[in-house]
Every structure is written in C-alpha cells, then in structure tokens.
C-alpha cells in the first residue's frame, strides 16, 4: 500500500523490461504480481508529475496485466471505455518512457488514441461507447474472415448509459463473439446511483468467490445478462492475478456473447484514493496542489443554485454524474428531495427535465458542454419544441487541457440553431449570476454557458442584464470588438491598447441586432470573439444579421478554427487557436492593413 505520491522515479526493474505485451507472456504468476506492484508505483509517480486521471487506472492494474498476458493484443481487439482507466495499458504497450509527456503538447493523449498506438484500437473520451465500437469491429472482422478476439473493458458507471444497453442488445442479437469485461468498482466519478448500481451491489453480496467463477451456469448474480443472452461469469476478484488469468484463459476458449463481472477498488494500492475515491478521481500536478483557493465558475453556480432554491421551492437540480464537478454537493445535502443525479445518462437528464417542467417544476440541468452534445435530440425534441421552462447551466464551455474529447467549444453553434432557446455568454461572475437568474425566470428554455477555471470580476461589467441586450464597455476608433463571453477580458486589453470600441454582446440568442447595426455604421471593421468554433457560432450570427439588413461592412470572425485543438494548457490552446491577446491584436492589424 502506498500512502504518498512519489516525487522521484521508483525503481522498477521488472516493469522496465516490458517493452510490449509480448514480454508478459513469459512471466510467472509471482512475477505478474510483482509487476502489478511496480506498475502501480510507477503510475503514481508519473501522474504526480503530469496530473491526470489515476484512480480508475490504479483499480485495473491487475486486470490490465492479465488481459495482455492471456490475449495477443497485437492482434486481438481490446477496446477500453472512457479511457480514464487506460494509463496502465499505455505503460505496458511501449509508451512507458513517454508517460511524463501525458497531456503535454505533442505528448501522450489522456485517453486512447488510434494515432498514438496500434494497441489503442478505438479512440474514446466520453463513456459508454466501447461495446458499440467493439461490435462494429467484430462484425467487420467476421465479414473478412478475421478470427481475432474482441474484448471490451467497461466500467459499471458507464453501463448506466442507454447506449451501452443498446449495444448489449445488439451483441446478443448478432450472437457476436465479444467478451465484455465489466469493471465494477461502484464508482463513475461520483458514487454510482440508481437501480443498476443497486443490482450490482446485490450481486456482490450474493456472490461467493469460492465458487468456480467460470462455471458457465446461469448463476443468479448475472441474471440480467444471462436473460439478455450472455454467457455470464463472476463476480470475481479483480485484484487476484491467479483468478484473473485462469478465468480469462477459460473465456478465451469460448465463443459468442460473454460477460465477465470483475470487482475492483478504485484507487487500489494508494491509501488516500481508496479511502476517498471521489476526491482522487484525478490529480493535479504535485507542484500545483494547494496553491489556489480561488472561486471557480462552478462554485459561483453552486452558490447561486442553493440561494435560488431557498427562495423557490419549484427549483429542481439535475446532473448526469457530475455532482462534484458542477458543485452540487451542498445543494444535494440541503435539498435532497429536489436533487437528481441520473448517472451517466445525458439524454435521460434532459428529457427528465422536460417532464418536470410540464409537471410544474423549474428544473436546472447542470451539465458540461461536451456532454450536452450527447443529448442534442432531447434538447430539440423534448425541450425546445415544447418551449419548456428548463435552464441549462453549461459548465466547461471552453478549451480544456484534456484536448478535443472534453473541450466545450461547439455549444454556441448547436444551441443557437434551435428555435425558442435563449443562449447567454457571461464574461464574469456578476453577469453569470444575473444571467442564471434571468434564465431561471424566463418562460422557456435557456442556457448559460461558462468556462472552467477561476471566476473573475471585471471592474467595467455591470450585473444589470436585460434579455437580448449588449453592454457598451468603451468607445474607440475604427474597430468595434464584439465579445461573447469568456474572451471579454482579453478583448478589453486589446481594445485599451489600440483605442478600439468594445461591446460585451452577452447574448448569442436573441442577439442585439441594434448594437450590431450601430457598430457597423460607426466603424470600418467589426471583430467578433468567442471561445467556440467559428463555424455557425456567434460570429456567424453577426454575419447573418448584417446580411439580412443589407449592410456591407468588413467583418473579422475570431474563434476556434475548423480543426480540433490539441491538448495543452488552456492558455496555450487559446494561443494555438489565435485567441490570445497578442494574436487577436495581430489578426486585427493584419485585416486593417489589408483594407487600407
């Protein structure tokens, strides 16, 4: 058991001899056990240096070793769900010496990446995609006569998503030769909730490790899976190398839909993580720990929703397994009967909110931008078409160091295309609180999108927010900068240095048409800024207004270009997208030079 994150690279002679999974084939069970200890020690060291997810990885060390020991993963197709648990996999598949580049520019991705390694069969980042992907791979292989094995590792938290059960249903219908390993640690990021989590817990209490784990009989613990058509085995101890290798060897000889239920401990082997798996889901770099006590935008939301709920008994909060990240912990304690963590089920979260709204409640859906993408149809079909009173608090609407899978930079584009919805972009803490109040009071769907990170208070911003109205920050010459949300503070620096006009647009929908027309009449160049993709975003909305009004003026749209921004620090990612203050200034100067 480790109780501290090592600051020096540990001595790992056996691990250092593993350059590919082939090297695992020759190890004895005792050596596999020793390797698990060294791998766990090395994982703690590297994540301490780089930051990243590590609780899930610590929990699957033995499982990862056993899979690569039993199967020929240079040929067999191993698909991991989400990717939080794949750091041990990366270490064992030729990337050990690159682990210190994790989440760094041109370094290792924090999730499986097909461009990074042939052992990363399918790229993941969001949950519950693995079974569908593996089935697709298996069906394609079958049609070409490929006899390699297909293996999936999916967590019990990811199994709560409807997509996973849709895939289970299809695997059984196809009688596909797929082995699904259910990594059951009773956790996603938060503790798992709901009927499925309770079902797994009952299975665990009913199980007896002394039984033959691969008897093949329809034992009671796997009733739901055997009823679906799976050959169920387990539950077994996911930290027992001998049991794992024996079970996997047996299952390797079988065919058809198989499901192995493995019990693991999130954070296994690291004392603080085992005792607090939620807090230890991910780790910041050691040198950054404890340095910041700044209030984040998530904290602003957490305080606001508690205050507003104390004033209005109709308020109900919903989150898809993001209680901690969205800062709903205090709300869940104070208002337990008005709090719904629906697990990893974004589509359900949105339609649940729609039903609550029809029933007279005032639901607030706290969701990350990247996860709202997963419920787009429900946003349109169940909320917007019916014009229901649902407020979406869209967190992490910004570039994130985890890279393209988690950066929230599409929501302005996909939301503003939907009729009836109000889309707001606060630039600081004051305007965010005002917009949350406005959205909650608004009759109809509304969305407040805010970035990850420390909440700022801009001295020139006012908390007086009126629906569809912008705010003039300063008057200048030649150029009018129209800023939407998080880039306002950077835009202010550029505007002050160059004597440009600056307008906080605040609303993408309804957009302030009069402010746009007035700015076009008084300036030779309009510049829009947004931390969202350029395609179809706020700048596009401005262009549409100018076209509709028949106004011919010069327009420069600055935002995320038409490419995925690679992992880096958020500041560096913004610079890569051309959204740092110096690059914004240079882009404007270049356009002015071209016009002169």
Predicted confidence (pLDDT) per residue in 503-549, tens digit: 999 999 999 999 999 999 999 999 999 999 999 999 999 999 999 99
Catalytic residue of the set 62, 346, 433, 531: 346
Task: Using the predicted structure, report yes or no on whether residue 555 has a pLDDT greater than 70.
Answer: yes
What is the spatial distance between Cα 234 and Cα 444, in angstroms, rounded to a whole number? Answer: 48
Tell me whether residue 266 is one of the annotated catalytic residues: yes
Return the pLDDT at 165. Answer: 92
Catalytic residue of the set 40, 90, 268, 374: 374
Q: What is the pLDDT of residues 309-323, one digit of tens each?
A: 999 999 999 999 999
Task: Using the predicted structure, report yes or no on whether residue 342 has a pLDDT greater than 90.
Answer: yes
**How many beta carbons lie within 10 A of that of residue 285, not counting itself?**
13
Both structure tokens of 256: 């058809």
Asked if residues 129 and 112 have their Cβ atoms less than 8 Å apart, the reply is no
Q: What is the pLDDT of residues 528-541, one digit of tens each?
A: 999 999 999 999 99
Mean local confidence (pLDDT), 392-413? 96
Return the pLDDT at 293. Answer: 61
| Full-model pTM | 0.86
Both structure tokens of 497: 């240095």
Task: Using the predicted structure, report yes or no on whether residue 351 has a pLDDT greater than 50.
Answer: yes
Q: What is the mean pLDDT of the chain?
A: 91
- With cut-offs at 50, 70 and 90, classify the pLDDT of residue 215: very low
Both structure tokens of 289: 């720990």
Mean local confidence (pLDDT), 211-232? 68
What is the phi/psi pair of residue 394, to 5°? -100, 100
Return the pLDDT at 121. Answer: 95
Catalytic residue of the set 77, 95, 103, 266: 266
Determine the 3-state secondary structure of 234 from DSSP: strand
> Which residue, among 586, 590, 583, 593, has the nearest Cα to 560 in the 3D structure?
583
Which 8-state DSSP code applies to residue 128?
A: S
Task: Using the predicted structure, report yes or no on whether residue 219 has a pLDDT greater than 50.
Answer: no
Tell me whether residue 474 is one of the annotated catalytic residues: no
Return the pLDDT at 290. Answer: 46
Return the pLDDT at 214. Answer: 47
Bridge partners of 78? 151
Task: Using the predicted structure, report yes or no on whether residue 479 has a pLDDT greater than 50.
Answer: yes
Highest mean pLDDT among 91-105, 151-165, 434-448: 434-448
Percentage, residues of the chain above pLDDT 70: 91
- With cut-offs at 50, 70 and 90, classify the pLDDT of residue 419: very high
Q: What is the pLDDT of residues 70-106, one digit of tens each?
A: 999 999 999 999 888 999 999 999 999 999 999 888 8
Return the pLDDT at 212. Answer: 44
Percentage, residues of the chain above pLDDT 90: 80
Mean local confidence (pLDDT), 442-466? 96
Mean local confidence (pLDDT), 261-288? 73
What is the spatial distance between Cα 401 and Cα 53, in angstroms, rounded to a whole number? Answer: 12
Q: What is the pLDDT of residues 188-212, one digit of tens each?
A: 555 656 666 666 665 555 554 433 4
Return the pLDDT at 279. Answer: 56
Among 156-160, 246-250, 556-560, the range scoring the smallest mean pLDDT is 156-160
Determine the 3-state secondary structure of 457 from DSSP: coil
Tell me whether residue 374 is one of the annotated catalytic residues: yes
Q: What is the DSSP string of 533-563?
A: ESTTSHHHHHHHHHHHTT---EEEEEEE-SS
Both structure tokens of 373: 């993408």
Return the pLDDT at 535. Answer: 97
In the chain, what are the domains? Answer: 13-288 (3.40.50.970), 297-449 (3.40.50.970), 471-595 (3.40.50.920)
């Amino acid at each position: 058991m480790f109780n501290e994150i090592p600051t020096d690279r540990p001595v790992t002679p056996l691990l250092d001899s593993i350059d590919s999974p082939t090297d695992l084939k020759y190890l004895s069970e005792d050596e596999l056990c020793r390797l698990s200890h060294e791998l766990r020690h090395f994982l703690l060291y590297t994540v301490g240096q780089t930051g990243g997810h590590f609780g899930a990885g610590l929990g699957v060390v033995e499982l990862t070793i056993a899979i690569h020991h039993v199967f020929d993963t240079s040929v067999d197709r191993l698909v991991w769900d989400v990717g939080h648990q794949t750091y041990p996999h990366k270490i064992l598949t030729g990337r050990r010496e690159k682990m210190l580049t994790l989440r760094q520019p041109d370094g290792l991705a924090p999730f499986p990446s097909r461009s990074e390694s042939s052992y990363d069969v399918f790229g993941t980042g969001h949950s519950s995609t693995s079974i569908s992907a593996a089935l697709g791979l298996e069906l394609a292989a079958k049609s070409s006569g490929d006899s390699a094995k297909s293996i999936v590792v999916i967590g019990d938290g990811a199994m709560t998503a409807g997509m996973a059960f849709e895939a289970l249903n299809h695997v059984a219908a196809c009688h596909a030769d797929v082995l699904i390993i259910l990594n059951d640690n009773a956790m996603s990021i938060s503790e798992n909730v709901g009927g499925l989590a309770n079902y797994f817990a009952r299975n665990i209490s009913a199980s007896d490790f002394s039984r033959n784990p691969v008897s093949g009989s329809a034992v009671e613990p796997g009733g739901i899976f055997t009823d679906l058509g799976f050959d169920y085995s387990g539950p077994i101890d996911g930290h027992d190398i001998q049991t794992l290798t024996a079970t996997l060897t047996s299952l390797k000889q079988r065919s058809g839909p198989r499901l192995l239920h493995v019990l693991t401990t999130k954070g296994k082997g690291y004392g603080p993580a085992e005792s607090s798996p939620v807090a230890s889901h991910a780790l910041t770099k050691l040198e950054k720990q404890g340095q910041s006590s700044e209030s984040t935008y998530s904290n602003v939301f957490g305080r606001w929703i508690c205050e507003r709920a104390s004033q209005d008994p109709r308020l109900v909060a919903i989150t898809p397994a993001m209680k901690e990240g969205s800062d709903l912990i205090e709300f869940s304690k104070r208002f337990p009967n008005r709090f719904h963590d629906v697990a990893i089920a974004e589509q359900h979260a949105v339609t649940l909110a729609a039903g609550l709204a029809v029933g007279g409640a005032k639901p607030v859906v706290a969701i990350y931008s990247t996860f709202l993408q997963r419920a787009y149809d429900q946003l349109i079909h169940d909320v917007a078409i019916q014009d229901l009173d649902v407020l979406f608090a869209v967190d992490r609407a910004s570039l994130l160091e985890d890279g393209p899978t988690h950066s929230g930079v599409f929501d302005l584009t996909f939301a503003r295309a939907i009729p009836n919805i109000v889309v707001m972009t606060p630039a600081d803490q004051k305007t965010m609180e005002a917009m949350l109040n406005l959205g909650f009071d608004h009759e109809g769907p509304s969305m407040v999108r805010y970035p990850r990170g420390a909440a700022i208070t801009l001295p020139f911003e006012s908390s007086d927010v009126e629906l569809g109205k912008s705010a003039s920050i300063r008057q200048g010459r030649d150029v009018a900068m129209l800023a939407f949300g998080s880039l306002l503070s950077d835009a202010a620096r550029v505007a002050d240095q160059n004597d440009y006009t600056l307008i906080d647009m605040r609303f993408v929908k309804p957009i302030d048409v009069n402010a746009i027309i007035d700015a076009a009449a008084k300036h030779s160049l309009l510049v829009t800024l947004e931390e969202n993709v350029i395609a179809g975003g706020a700048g596009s909305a401005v262009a549409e207004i100018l076209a509709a009004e028949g106004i011919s003026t010069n327009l420069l749209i600055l935002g995320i270009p038409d490419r995925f921004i690679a992992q880096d620090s958020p500041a560096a990612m913004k610079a890569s997208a051309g959204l740092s203050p110096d690059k914004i200034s240079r882009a404007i100067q270049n356009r002015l030079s071209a016009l002169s």
